[in-house]
Structure 1
Amino acid sequence: MEAHRWTGASYHNSGWNPRHIEGCEHFFFYTLEYLTRKAFIHGEPVCLGIIFMSLLQDNDPEGIRKSIEEVGVRIRPEDMNVTWADVVTALKETRKYAEENRLFYTTVNERDVTNGIIETVREYLYGSG
Structure 2
Amino acid sequence: MEEYRGDLVVIAAGYEREMRRFLAANSGLESRFPKRIAFPDYTDTELAEIFRHLAAAEGFTLAPDVPDRLRALLRTSSRGPSFGNGRLMRNLLDAAIARQAQRITAGDRPDDAEITTLRAADLRPVTPETRSKNVGLYL
TM-score normalised by the chain length of structure 2: 0.25
Bigger radius of gyration, 1 or 2?
2
TM-score by length of 1: 0.27
Of Structure 1 and Structure 2, the greater helix share is in: 1
